[in-house]
C-alpha cells in the first residue's frame, strides 16, 4: 500500500474545522461552437464512465498496530460527484464565493477523501469544474499531473477523461498481507528512522540558532516564529475568500534570462511589493521584512507529499524592487543550502513540527498561536499550452489551495499557456478585500519589470562598466 510520509500524517492528524486541508483545481471552460444544449450533462455523463485511479481510490485506515495507512478500495465516482448551478448569468465573484463555501468544509474520511463539482449558470454558457482532495493523499505537483492527464492539448481531441483517473502509478509487485510480526517489525523500523531524523533535526535547529546569534553560519535559515511582522492577522475561521490575477509568462521568462533570477524569486519579489502596497493602502506600515513560507520539492523523501515548507524573509520594507530581488535571492539560496545539508526525512520532520505546532496549540484550546509566516507561496508548474475538454477551451485553471495554521493567506501559481495565474486564498478578517491584493500584485509586477528592464538595458550596463572621470 502507498506509504504516508510524516507530513501526510500531520495533515490528517492536525486538521480542524477552521483549518480544512483541501486542495484542488477550479477550471472555467467555454463550450465549443455548435455544442448541444445540454453540453454540461453530456460532459458529466462521459466523465462518470471513466475509472477511478490512485490516489482517488485511496482511503485512510487506522490499524490496531502501527501508524495510519492508505488502502486501495473500489470507488463509484457518482457518490463523489455533484452538479450545481449559479443563478444565471453568474459572475466569477459569485463562483468564487460558492467554491469557497465548498472548499472550507471537511471531507468525509470513511471513504476516499475527494469531491468533484460541475457548476453551471455562468454568463455566456460557461461551466466551472471544481475538485477538492485532502492534501494528505496528494501533493501539488501530482495534482497538476492528474489535471494534465485530464485535459486535452487540442480542441480536435474530443475524448473525455476525468480528474479522478489520477496519476499513473509505477508497476507494483503484489505482496501477501503483512503478518502481525511483519507489522511490528515495520513499526520498529519506523521508530528507529524517526529517532535518527530527530537527532538530525536537533542539529538543524542548532545551526539556525547559531546563525541567529551571528556565529559565522552564513547559510543557516532563520529560526521559526521569529521576526514575522504582525500583519495579515485576524481571528481563526473556517471562512475563506478567493481572488486571482494573471501575469505574462513570456515577460517573466525574459526578466529571468536578463537578470539571472529564477521565476520564483521574481514572483516572491512581486508579492513582497504587492503585499506592502496593499497594506499601505489600508493604513498599515511594515517595519520589518515580510516572511513567506515556501514549499520545496524533495527528491529522496518517502510518502505522498515529498516537500518541505521553509521560512523565507523577503525584502527590506521601503527598498526598491531591484534591491529586494537581490535580498530575496540570498534568502532562497539559504533555503536551497539547508535542503542540500540535511536529509529529506529530516527537513520533512522539521516542516511537520514547525507547521504542526500552531495547529496542536489550537487543538488544546490555546487562542494565541505561533505565527509561521505572513503567507505561503507555491508554484507547482502547470500547463505549457492551451487545454481543452470535449472541445471546450479552458479559459482559467485556478489553484484553490489550503491555509494552514500559523498563517492567513495562501498564494499559489499555476501556468496556463502564456499566462501565469496567481490564486489568493485567505481568511476574510485577515485579508479583507482580497481582490485589491490581486490588483496590487499586478501593479507591483509592472513596476518591478520596468525597474529591472532599466537596470539591465545596454545603456545601464555601459554606465556601470565606465569608470568615473577624475576631477582635478
Q: Mean pLDDT of successive 10-residue segments in the chain (472 residues)? A: 75 89 95 93 98 95 83 96 96 98 95 97 96 90 88 95 85 39 42 42 41 44 76 93 98 97 97 98 94 80 66 94 96 83 67 71 68 92 93 96 92 96 97 98 98 80 51 37
**114-122 vs 81-90, strand pairing mode:** parallel
The pLDDT assigned to 323 comes to 97
283: left (phi over 0), alpha (psi -120 to 50) or beta: left
Tell me how crowded residue 271 is: count the other CB atoms within 10 A of its CB.
28
> What are φ and ψ of residue 425, in 5° steps?
-115, 125
- C-alpha 359/C-alpha 294 separation (Å) is 18
> What are φ and ψ of residue 173, in 5° steps?
-80, 130
Give long-range contacts, CB 8 A cutoff, 24+ apart: 186-194.
Answer: 186/66, 187/65, 187/66, 187/67, 190/66, 190/67, 193/345, 194/6, 194/349
DSSP-based three-state secondary structure for 233: coil
Q: Exposed/middle/buried for 150, CB within 10 Å: 0-12, 13-18, 19+?
A: buried
What are the extents of the domains in the chain?
6-165
- C-alpha 396/C-alpha 399 separation (Å) is 10
Q: Which helix (H) or strand (E) holds 181?
A: helix 180-212
The pLDDT assigned to 195 comes to 41
- Centroid of chain to Cα 52: 24
Residue 6: CB partners within 8 Å, gap ≥ 6? 194, 197, 303, 345, 348, 349, 352
- Centroid of chain to Cα 120: 26
Residue 204: CB partners within 8 Å, gap ≥ 6? 338, 341, 342, 346, 347, 350
- Three-state SS letters, 111-122: CCCEEEEEEEEE
> What are φ and ψ of residue 125, in 5° steps?
75, 10
- C-alpha 45/C-alpha 29 separation (Å) is 17
- C-alpha 284/C-alpha 11 separation (Å) is 33
Class level of CATH domain 6-165:
alpha beta
The pLDDT assigned to 321 comes to 95
Give the angle subtended at the CA of 83 by the CAs of 103 and 399, to the nearest 5°. Answer: 35
The pLDDT assigned to 177 comes to 43
- C-alpha 35/C-alpha 120 separation (Å) is 15
3-state helix, strand, coil in the chain (%, to 5): 40, 20, 40
**409-416 vs 375-378, strand pairing mode:** parallel
Cα-based distances in Å from 18 to 81, 128, 236: 24, 26, 7
The pLDDT assigned to 341 comes to 67
Instruction: Give me the torsion for CA of 187, 190, 196, 199, rounded to 10°.
Output: -80
The pLDDT assigned to 342 comes to 61
- C-alpha 383/C-alpha 391 separation (Å) is 17
Give the angle subtended at the CA of 136 by the CAs of 60 and 359, to the nearest 5°. Answer: 110
Here the cell at position 192 is: 528507529
The pLDDT assigned to 192 comes to 40
Q: Which residue has the cell 450545481?
A: 84
DSSP-based three-state secondary structure for 87: strand
- C-alpha 447/C-alpha 155 separation (Å) is 36
Strand partners, 457: none
Residue 233: CB partners within 8 Å, gap ≥ 6? 371, 408, 430
Amino acid at each position: 500500500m502507498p506509504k504516508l510520509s510524516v507530513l501526510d500524517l500531520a495533515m490528517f492528524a492536525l486538521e480542524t474545522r477552521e483549518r480544512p486541508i483541501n486542495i484542488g483545481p477550479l477550471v472555467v471552460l467555454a463550450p465549443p461552437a455548435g455544442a448541444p444544449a445540454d453540453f454540461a450533462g453530456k460532459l458529466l455523463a462521459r466523465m462518470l464512465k471513466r475509472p477511478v485511479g490512485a490516489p482517488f481510490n485511496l482511503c485512510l485506515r487506522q490499524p490496531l498496530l502501527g501508524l495510519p495507512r492508505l488502502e486501495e478500495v473500489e470507488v463509484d465516482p457518482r457518490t463523489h460527484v455533484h452538479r450545481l448551478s449559479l443563478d444565471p448569468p453568474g459572475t466569477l465573484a459569485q463562483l468564487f464565493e460558492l467554491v469557497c463555501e465548498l472548499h472550507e468544509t471537511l471531507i468525509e474520511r470513511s471513504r476516499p477523501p475527494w469531491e468533484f463539482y460541475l457548476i453551471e449558470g455562468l454568463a455566456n454558457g460557461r461551466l466551472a469544474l471544481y475538485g477538492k482532495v485532502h492534501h494528505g493523499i496528494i501533493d501539488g505537483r501530482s495534482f497538476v499531473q492528474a489535471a494534465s492527464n485530464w485535459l486535452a492539448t487540442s480542441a480536435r481531441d474530443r475524448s473525455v477523461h476525468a480528474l479522478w483517473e489520477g496519476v499513473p502509478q509505477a508497476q507494483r509487485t503484489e505482496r501477501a498481507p503483512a503478518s502481525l510480526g511483519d507489522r511490528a517489525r515495520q513499526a520498529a523500523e519506523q521508530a528507529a528512522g524517526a529517532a535518527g531524523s530527530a537527532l538530525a533535526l536537533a542539529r538543524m535547529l542548532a545551526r539556525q540558532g547559531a546563525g541567529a546569534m551571528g556565529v559565522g553560519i552564513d547559510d543557516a535559515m532563520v529560526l521559526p516564529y521569529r521576526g514575522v511582522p504582525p500583519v495579515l492577522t485576524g481571528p481563526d475561521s473556517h471562512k475563506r475568500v478567493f481572488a486571482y490575477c494573471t501575469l505574462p509568462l513570456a515577460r517573466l521568462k525574459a526578466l529571468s534570462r536578463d537578470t539571472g533570477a529564477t521565476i520564483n524569486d521574481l514572483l516572491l519579489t512581486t508579492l513582497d511589493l504587492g503585499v506592502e502596497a496593499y497594506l499601505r493602502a489600508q493604513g498599515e506600515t511594515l517595519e520589518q521584512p515580510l516572511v513567506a513560507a515556501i514549499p520545496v520539492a524533495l527528491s529522496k523523501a518517502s510518502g505522498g507529499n515529498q516537500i518541505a515548507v521553509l521560512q523565507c524573509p523577503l525584502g527590506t520594507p521601503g527598498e526598491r524592487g531591484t534591491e529586494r530581488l537581490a535580498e530575496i535571492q540570498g534568502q532562497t539560496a539559504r533555503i536551497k543550502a539547508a535542503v542540500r545539508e540535511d536529509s529529506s526525512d529530516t527537513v520533512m520532520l522539521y516542516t511537520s513540527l514547525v507547521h504542526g505546532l500552531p495547529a496542536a496549540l489550537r487543538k488544546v484550546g490555546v487562542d494565541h498561536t505561533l505565527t509561521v509566516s505572513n503567507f505561503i507561496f507555491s508554484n507547482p508548474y502547470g500547463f505549457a499550452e492551451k487545454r481543452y475538454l470535449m472541445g471546450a477551451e479552458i479559459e482559467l485553471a485556478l489553484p484553490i489551495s489550503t491555509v494552514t495554521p500559523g498563517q492567513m493567506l495562501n498564494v499559489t501559481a499555476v501556468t496556463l499557456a502564456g499566462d501565469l495565474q496567481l490564486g489568493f486564498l485567505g481568511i476574510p478578517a485577515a485579508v479583507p478585500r482580497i481582490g485589491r491584493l490581486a490588483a496590487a500584485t499586478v501593479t507591483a509586477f509592472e513596476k518591478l519589470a520596468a525597474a529591472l528592464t532599466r537596470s539591465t538595458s545596454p545603456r545601464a550596463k555601459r554606465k556601470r562598466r565606465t569608470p568615473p572621470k577624475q576631477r582635478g
